[in-house]
Structure 1
């Protein structure tokens, strides 16, 4: 496989050389067993029409676990809703340790960390998993009845992924994205999480939950250990000639389907089996980093929340500054017989809203979150990071700059990413990936103009129409009303995400909806979520269509240079800016704000942070890295270059404003811009006088606007510049001058010879009614940036 530089990262080569990606990276680090087998690597692969049955041939190889569209998959093709993706792997297990004991006491589980989207699983031509729906939640099957010991087993996986051609939760994945300034990206189809086997007892530990509550003197640990019993299942033998149809609304069974409501009194569990009288016992040890045992205790109550208290003085609380994790060892017994051993960990931390001034508190103290938006895309793996080291690298680099929070935007990751946030100390806002429409379902039609203003954050204190505090569709007679089937799928995946990720102490905020994308029934869902997971804060609506008094957080999005906030404080919720910034360099792609070099972009970043209001509890900056054509990342897409001055970013994030960049305009060509010309010939001289102690870290720029013109400038009769980007930049902007041109000649007279002429080829007819009455416009200034 040839290495493509455009699609590569520093980890790409290692992935290509390794036989098994993520070979030794346990896929579920918060609930670990000794015996497991990684099935990643090269699988046979083919693509068929959805009208075809079981494929006759698997004619290609694909590298699992990378999306079909990615470079690292080895396939790199676009997938649409008319395709089936077929994977096949022949494998066997030779180790005797997998077969010790009674086969009815131990079962072999087949785990899929992530598959996008509808999945059917066959083992030796038996259907062991029928039509799992969901691109983000892990799922598993007991394959014991049809697994053949010591011999070859044929595993076949069929995937259907319609992306935005269906109502599935998909985040920012968009087919046929043709917009140059798009905020949507390449869809990611098929297997994109580790596929693995695990041997478990018939009754085994299935889920762990820990919650921390703090008082002035105590730490209360609420814990729950869930058991699961595997029934001996029977599966259908599927003839290769039989086609299993894709999911459709026509075969959707509404029976026993219900929407989520807080009054249902649900808890974080799916297992309904009662183990109360079956004589189970847990021996639990919580172990410090020095291997000393904090406590050893016994529990006899599976699947029931319990609690234990510690003195506050004896507990190391988890935080970004002190990401202290305790190891947990759990031994399961039944009637005195040892069943299994589980490895896990815990971070004691509490996230809450402070009672006064409604600020976010971490461990009962006000805590300001400086965060970055993370889309979770990579040039080589797209939705999947190339290696586990790549996961860790992103988190470490952002933390080294001084950020303490990552907002995982419009996707959820594999468990390994959250594990590194737990270990390294990074707070996480976790978005629910949007589904269905990128429009909302509950904005009243007569409020459209008001919400457009709200979206642009020019009238954040604008009153809302009275009917928008009810869960109403956009128009009761409109065909765009969100269907029951769509609601059921969104809520199933929402609950599945929370059930699986709620273990991680790093996750402190759930984000339900983003900018109205598919937004519906906000009050019902936010109220349910707030009662369902009481260990975290709820951000019901990040940006735009807020619902008054719902959740813990009022979230503003503002990409302007001067963030505007509501004119009043919320009585019950903390105020945050969930998206801002979007600063980029003038290289390629697009950004919300474009700058010509790393010094100016650093200055703009400093000014953004210096002017943050003390009313805020958090600011999330857009974004961690460039993504495809969107170039407003702190890092480039391949993570090789940081666009800012590192020392400046570190200082300002520590609230050290002692050496901020200062921008001064030193001289302008004329007090009134030149307009309505065909040609201009100018010769101007000026004295450059700078008040300074040294010439260190000074940068000079032309601050210029030239409409429909080409500008030729000669400086001091020797240095020439040609400005001809008016068709791309139709506003004032900075152009850097060579570092030594003016810096080494301050206190001297300089001469500018300027020739400006109208270029009809630059003149865009569609702009004529929108811009200036005069078709030509020229203004030139000289500015200096210094620290």
Structure 2
């Protein structure tokens, strides 16, 4: 693989890189606040540590150094950091992920709060920080509320079904960034193959007069295009024409480097480095096209859980290895299931040419609060991942979770459509799936789930368009569409199936789908039969197999929870990539 020019190991925002940053991961003071008395006791000014915690791991997992799975709604973090004189610059504090309500104090001064566990939280702490030693205190509130997006995090004190131990507080990188008084706060990059260039939209944190943004693109170190874009108040839009167009391809990647400079009076005010890929995703005649050619997607369901770490990867290498291992097993992409993954994973997917379906973690209630929290967070997720060429599809809901009555409830149908349309407003290019699995309303791809373990029966269930679009799905007795909606010629994919497990693994509450298999031969034969049953249906555009690895009591992964493989990658590849020669 070849890294982009802007790559920095462990840098948490790899597609928008500045040089001046400090990683705050590591040992922090930690305290449980079970009666929520911390603020009254002055914890925000500093507190005596009950324990040490290894940030960014959540206190529930072993890697944090605590490993206490008991829910505590209010928790506190504290650490010191040293700052040099930053002059007239500003100091930003970023949390890549903190679940769910995060409050921040620096040197006893309140710096703000934000709700949401699945997008980057940013606090301007300039006015509170000083040259030299600083004390940072963070309080996080979390709960079992089903109104907040929680994905696969359980909502009770025990594991159940396919839900696992919850993740509270900081669970992704915390870092500081020094930026100018006026800086580029957002950049939106849209490849345009027809016009042979890149559309660039940007936003500044505050107005700036008589300024421009200079953009220069590079291909393998050679400058291939540049432009100047005028700043209008706080934003701007322009087009960067390319001297040569090299396509981003699945299994190959292909990235341009990009330098962005905010300039005024011929002086550089702010500078950031990025990258982009030239590719086009569209739907035509029931097919999904990438760069004008039909794309068959061999996806794997990827929940992004690690043994002892839960939703947090052990390190950057673990993210890369998950991706390259899946490619070695014959997959060309993944569906990131009920999780917003660490952005470094998307970086490696961009580099390797690995497809990612980005999915919103579910709520499990249908209330005014749940609707507002889900839609607000989802729009932030889409905006944050928009620039990554690897992201080819958005998945807003899964299996009617949070909208259990969608089949006939017009309010729930309207809300799902509202989320679909809000996604399209941000991104008119990529396909959006309104409700993956069944009971679709507006949806660009018809996606179906079926855990029938017999390949011939699976084939028989879906081998005509009529069966896929008008019949009850045999495995789960659900309809492909809700009342009042019908098939409109969309591409069709089987986006959950398989989940096969070994008898030796299924004891107590440990489970897989269907009847477990006895041995390796039966295991590979069954999986191969199911894959062939789908691939042999000519109008099906791809599949998503469940799943990458075992997760706690769910033992239906291709890998163990510790990522050791149940079979050789070569054997898996022969099963999943039927384009290989015999």
Measured against the shorter chain, the TM-score band is 0.7 to 0.9
Would you say the 8 A contact 2:105–2:111 is kept in 1? yes
> Relative to structure 1, is the Cα distance of residues 38 and 657 closer, same or farther in structure 2, using a 3 angstrom cutoff?
closer
Would you say the 8 A contact 1:552–1:572 is kept in 2? no
Would you say the 8 A contact 2:31–2:75 is kept in 1? yes
> Relative to structure 1, is the Cα distance of residues 652 and 51 closer, same or farther in structure 2, using a 3 angstrom cutoff?
closer
- Per-residue Cα deviation, 1:330-363 (whole angstroms, up to 9, x for no partner): 1210232221221100111111102x2x111111
Partner of 1:304: 236
Would you say the 8 A contact 1:601–1:644 is kept in 2? no
Partner of 2:3: none
Partner of 2:434: 540
Partner of 1:631: 555
Q: Offset at 1:124? A: 0.9
Q: Offset at 1:179? A: 6.2
Would you say the 8 A contact 2:99–2:116 is kept in 1? yes
Partner of 1:580: 497
Q: Offset at 1:483? A: 2.5
Would you say the 8 A contact 1:211–1:535 is kept in 2? no
Partner of 2:450: 558
- 5+ unaligned residues in a row in structure 1: which ranges? 1-22, 230-273, 438-481, 660-787
- Per-residue Cα deviation, 1:40-70 (whole angstroms, up to 9, x for no partner): 1000011012431334522210000001101
Q: Offset at 1:573? A: 1.4
Alignment of 1:42-57 (within 5 A): 42-54=27-39, 55=43, 56-57=47-48
Alignment of 1:133-532 (within 5 A): 133-150=115-132, 152-162=133-143, 164-176=144-156, 178=158, 182-215=161-194, 218-229=195-206, 278-289=209-220, 291-301=221-231, 303-310=235-242, 314-354=244-284, 356=285, 358-437=286-365, 482-519=366-403, 520=412, 521-532=415-426
Q: Measure the CA separation in 2 of the matches of 1:524 and 1:141.
A: 30
1:92 aligns with 2:92: no
Secondary structure of 2:236's counterpart equals coil
Q: Offset at 1:24? A: 4.5
Q: Offset at 1:614? A: 1.5
Would you say the 8 A contact 1:514–1:541 is kept in 2? yes
Q: Measure the CA separation in 2 of the matches of 1:524 and 1:83.
A: 32
Would you say the 8 A contact 2:448–2:495 is kept in 1? yes
Mean Cα deviation higher: 555-564 or 388-397: 555-564
Would you say the 8 A contact 1:79–1:189 is kept in 2? no
Q: Measure the CA separation in 2 of the matches of 1:198 and 1:496.
A: 20
Q: Measure the CA separation in 2 of the matches of 1:609 and 1:304.
A: 48
Alignment of 1:663-674 (within 5 A): none
Q: Measure the CA separation in 2 of the matches of 1:178 and 1:488.
A: 28
1:73 aligns with one of 64, 84, 88: 64
Q: Measure the CA separation in 1 of the matches of 2:268 and 2:159.
A: 60
Q: Offset at 1:643? A: 2.0
CA radius of gyration, larger in? 1
> Relative to structure 1, is the Cα distance of residues 581 and 61 closer, same or farther in structure 2, using a 3 angstrom cutoff?
same
TM-score, normalising length from structure 1?
0.64
> Relative to structure 1, is the Cα distance of residues 327 and 544 closer, same or farther in structure 2, using a 3 angstrom cutoff?
same
Would you say the 8 A contact 1:527–1:551 is kept in 2? no
Secondary structure of 1:43's counterpart equals strand
Q: Measure the CA separation in 2 of the matches of 1:117 and 1:542.
A: 25
Would you say the 8 A contact 1:177–1:184 is kept in 2? no
Secondary structure of 1:611's counterpart equals helix
Q: Measure the CA separation in 1 of the matches of 2:529 and 2:316.
A: 35
Would you say the 8 A contact 2:261–2:272 is kept in 1? yes
> Relative to structure 1, is the Cα distance of residues 656 and 498 closer, same or farther in structure 2, using a 3 angstrom cutoff?
closer
Q: Measure the CA separation in 2 of the matches of 1:657 and 1:644.
A: 18
Q: Measure the CA separation in 1 of the matches of 2:9 and 2:440.
A: 44
Aligned residues: 526
Q: Measure the CA separation in 2 of the matches of 1:567 and 1:532.
A: 33
Would you say the 8 A contact 2:229–2:236 is kept in 1? no
> Relative to structure 1, is the Cα distance of residues 658 and 323 closer, same or farther in structure 2, using a 3 angstrom cutoff?
closer
- 5+ unaligned residues in a row in structure 2: which ranges? 1-7, 404-411, 470-486
2:112 aligns with one of 129, 140, 153: 129
Q: Measure the CA separation in 2 of the matches of 1:317 and 1:385.
A: 30
Q: Offset at 1:301? A: 4.0
Q: Offset at 1:304? A: 3.4
> Relative to structure 1, is the Cα distance of residues 648 and 83 closer, same or farther in structure 2, using a 3 angstrom cutoff?
closer
2:524 aligns with one of 590, 597, 602: 602
- Per-residue Cα deviation, 1:48-102 (whole angstroms, up to 9, x for no partner): 124313345222100000011011101111243x5311000022124xxx52xx4
Would you say the 8 A contact 2:527–2:575 is kept in 1? no
Partner of 1:662: none
Q: CA RMSD in A?
A: 2.0
Alignment of 1:713-752 (within 5 A): none
Alignment of 1:697-776 (within 5 A): none
Q: Measure the CA separation in 1 of the matches of 2:240 and 2:261.
A: 18
